[in-house]
Amino acid sequence: MRRKILFVDDEPMVLQGLKRMLRGMQNEWDMVFAESGEEALAILGATPFEVMVTDMRMPGMHGAALLEKAQKRFPKLVRIVLSGHSDQGLILKSVRTAHQYLSKPCDADTLKDTVSRACALRELLKDDMLKQVVSNIGTLPSLPRLYQEIMKELQSEDASMRKVAEIVSRDVGMTAKVLQMVNSAFFALPRHIASIAQAVNLLGLETIKALVLSAQIFRRFEVQGIPMSFLEKLWNHCLGTATFAKAIAKEENLSREVIDDAFLGGMLHDLGKLILFMGFPEKYRAILKRSGENGISLGEVEQEVLGTTHGAVGAYLMGLWGFGDNVVEAIAFHHEPGICSAKTAGALACVHAANDLEHAFGPEGIRREWAHADLDFFNSVGCVEKLDRWVQVCESAIQ
Ligand SMILES: [Fe+2]
Ligand SMILES: [Fe+2]
């Protein structure tokens, strides 16, 4: 299927350069080029597009205004910024409307990969309504008490980096947003960052303040009718799964990068539940109520009612936000690792095991039942004899 991609830039030379650079993609992409925000909106209004790649500094309607209008009128559209570093002020205005950032000059491979990945991700969610709900999410809600804590810390005169990092790393929504920002081309950091402490250090307190206090990248959870106990439980489960996944990855002597991905995958693995609750509160409450009855799993009920699972929904958003394949796969397949095409004992294996162990964790420690684990998968990646040892390392990780 040919993809429809719209490029927007006020400089004809830049558009010419893009046309030349992407000539090889003509068989796969229908590419349309617009010289202004106004022209882009007219084109988008006439025919549906999948991805828009836009400049920020443009006369008339600037990129941030275009992104905002496009988000409202064409919510399914994947919105990517391609701009120069001098446009930071404008970019700050787009932190809730752009999915990803690329910086000029951008090489052909990076541009092709970013757009192709965004297109491929769309296959994860078939339903248009769901795509619309998820693509529209610019910030994720935070647990109210953690939101209060971070605002208080950032507004105080002696705010500390260590304290800020510590609060962010306890919140699912803040973790996702900070890592999306720190890894975007906007900050032009040389390598991939998966740890919050590192992210906060690299961004610095002033940038974090600007992002949180002016650009409002965090927000308090305010969906009516969701019991606070549900949120507290979900947050504890995510943090526990992250801690276990990291302990398992360390035990396996995996690289620093995979250990960070395992932690992050654990932290974000159930993010889809939050998204579905926000998007369809009534329906999702009924889904949660029905799951567990007559031994039906949550995934089965989600699939039946929504045609997808919380794993796919969370993975879709994190993919749109530019998270790496390892983290996206760990989220997408945390209940069914066997259907992931990559068969390795990496972040996904750690998160799959950690999720099960966290559910089996009680006052007497961890019950060794592996009730929901895919033992065939662990066998296929050579980990099945290690499972007992993993229970021990997870138990030590929380003592
Ligand atoms: Fe889950
Ligand atoms: Fe879970």
Q: How far is the CA of 296 from the centre of ligand 2 (A)?
A: 16
Mean pLDDT of the chain: 91
Residue 356 Cα to ligand 2 middle (Å): 7
- pLDDT exceeds 70 at position 251: yes
Q: Tokens representing 354?
A: 């950690």
Position 308 scores a pLDDT of 92
Of residues 10 and 220, the one with the higher pLDDT is: 10
- Which DSSP letter does residue 253 get? T
pLDDT tops 70 at residue 97 = yes
Q: Which ligand is nearest to the CA of 355?
A: 2
Q: What is d(CA 208, CA 219) in angstroms, rounded to the nearest whole number?
A: 14
- Check: CB of residue 188 under 8 Å from CB of residue 174: no
331 alpha carbon to ligand 1 midpoint, in Å? 8
pLDDT over 70 (residue 85): no
Q: How far does the centroid of ligand 1 lie from the alpha carbon of residue 182, in Å? A: 26
Highest mean pLDDT among 45-54, 75-84, 126-135: 45-54
For the ranges 140-144, 202-206, 368-372, the lowest mean pLDDT is seen at 368-372
Spacing, Cα 306 to ligand 2 middle (Å): 19
Count Cβ atoms below 10 Å from residue 159 Cβ, excluding itself.
15
Q: Residue 379: its pLDDT value, please?
A: 93
Ligand 1 centroid vs 315 CA: distance in angstroms?
A: 11
- How far is it, in rounded angstroms, from Cα 149 to Cα 171? 11
Rounded CA-CA distance 299/310 in Å is: 7
State both tokens at 393: 């390392």
Predicted pLDDT of residue 371: 83
Indicate the pTM of the whole model. 0.88
Question: What's the CA-to-centroid distance between 192 and ligand 1, angstroms?
Answer: 25
> Of 176, 87, 169, 134, which is closest to residue 277 (Cα–Cα)?
134
Confidence band, pLDDT 50/70/90 cuts, at residue 245: very high
The single residue listed with the structure tokens 């003592």 is: 399
Question: Relative to the alpha carbon of 234, which ligand is closest?
Answer: 2
How far does residue 271's CA lie from ligand 2's centre (Å)?
A: 9
pLDDT number for residue 86: 66
* Single-letter amino acid code for the residue at 387: L
- Alpha-carbon distances of 44 from 70, 172, 178, 266, 350, rounded to whole Å: 8, 34, 30, 38, 42
Ligand 1 center to residue 260 CA distance, Å?
19
Three-class DSSP category at 133: helix
The b-or-e profile of 222-261 (16+ CB within 10 A means b, else e) is eeeebeeeebeebbebbbbbbbbbbbbbbbbebeeebbbb
